[in-house]
Structures are given as C-alpha cells and as structure tokens.
A and B are shown apart, each in its own frame.
Chain A
Amino acid sequence: EAGVTQFPSHSVIEKGQTVTLRCDPISGHDNLYWYRRVMGKEIKFLLHFVKESKQDESGMPNNRFLAERTGGTYSTLKVQPAELEDSGVYFCASSQDPGYGYTFGSGTRLTVV
C-alpha cells in the first residue's frame, strides 16, 4: 500500500507570507495527525482528525494555523501569516487503529526567512 504522502517536501517562504501543507494519508485510515519538530527539539503534537472532524487541536500553537480535512481524505495545514518561529519539519501521520501506532509521512521542511 502507498504510505503517507506529504507535499511539498521543502518550502522556503518569507515572513508574513502564507503556506499550505498537504497530507494524503494511507487509504482507509480514519485517524490523521499533524506533528511538528522545531530544530533540535522534540516532535510535538499539533492536532488529530477522525475522518473530517477535529478530535483534538490542543497542540495548535495559535490562530495563525488552520487545519482542514474536507471529506475525510487528505488534510491541509495552512500557516497565515508565517512567522520565523514557525520554521521546522511538519509531519503527518495516519492510522486505522492508533492504539497500535501510526505511520508517519516524510515531513515538510518549512523555512521562514
């Protein structure tokens, strides 16, 4: 089966611009997660979808971040306007039964200059 796909793999934008990250989960996986790793620090939870519903968005840093999962398939994470501290690697993961772990994508490396 195809894995979790994230696009783009890299993005360099200027402070104040908008960026949209996309995640295509493994087909049939209802659970979709977004995580972020800021340079040298731990990987931190951002939010969790079950199908198209946000189950937990307690990790979203602020209201400049907006995640959607229309139709319960792919998900987007928009950062608007981007700030320097938003730089990092954004990981998406999906699972059918998250009690037994989930599969991560390769990540999107975002650099805000």
Chain B
Amino acid sequence: GQQLNQSPQSMFIQEGEDVSMNCTSSSIFNTWLWYKQDPGEGPVLLIALYKAGELTSNGRLTAQFGITRKDSFLNISASIPSDVGIYFCAVRTTSGTYKYIFGTGTRLKVLA
C-alpha cells in the first residue's frame, strides 16, 4: 500500500531550539496535513496544505508543500516544553471518502 516516510523518528532538543521534520512519498498527493498528538489525546490538525509550493505558518509552526507534490516539511521555531508530543504528516487520498494516509510520526522531546 501507499506509505509516507517520515523522519526523524524521534528528536531530543533543548528548549529554544528550532526543529525540522519532513515527510516524503513515492506518489503525488494534492493535500498534505500535519497533526500533533499530545499524550493521551487524539491527533489535532496543525496545518493543512492544498497547493504545491505553498508555505503556511501557524504561530511558531511553518509547513511547506513540496513542488513535486511528493513531500512536505514542518518547522517549529523556538521550541517550548509544550511542543512535546508526536507529530504526524498525512495526505488525503483522491478517493471520495477523504481518508488519510499517515506517516509513522516524529516523537519530539524538549529538554528545559
């Protein structure tokens, strides 16, 4: 089946540092999304990208939809302790059901 390759698997960073993670696919997708899962909670949508080349920000988060439509990255600037969690990239399939394919996640730990 279709897969998204998300990296890195985990990151340990110091508070205040910037973070970058990315996601690649062997197939083209027209919608890329980034979700965050806090411990004990469900995934929450951070940023949705609908156009190739699009760069979108949400506070300290910035995500880009790759020109080839096969990749995306997420940057977090000046990390804080509450950024801890698992970040998932996801793509929306082209079928009518709007189901998502998710990456395996990047686990982020922030050291104060």
Contacts and interface: CB of A to CB of B under 8 A. Distances in A.
Interface stretch (A11-19, A37-45, A60-68, A77-85): A37-45
18 contacts: A9-B40, A35-B100, A42-B105, A43-B88, A43-B100, A45-B100, A48-B98, A48-B99, A55-B97, A56-B95, A91-B42, A93-B42, A100-B48, A101-B33, A104-B44, A105-B42, A107-B41, A107-B42
Contacts of B41: 106-107
Interface in A97-113: 98-102, 104-107
Contacts, number: 55
Interface residues of A, number: 27
B85 interface: no
A88 to B, nearest CB: 13
A66 to B, nearest CB: 19
B35 to A, nearest CB: 8
Contacts of B100: 35, 43, 45
Nearest to B4: A42
Interface centre among B44, B98, B102 (most CB of A within 10 A): B98
Given A55-B97, A98-B98, A101-B33, A42 B103 contact: yes
A74 interface: no
A26 interface: no
Interface range for B: 20 to 34
Interface string B73-112: 0000000000000001010000111111111110000000
Given A91-B43, A106-B40, A33 B99 contact: yes
B45 interface: yes
Contact of A41 (B42, B98, B104): B104
Given A56-B95, A100-B48, A45 B42 contact: no
Contact of B104 (A4, A42, A106): A42
A33 B96 CA distance: 13
A73 B5 CA distance: 35
A104 B97 contact: no
A45 B96 CA distance: 14
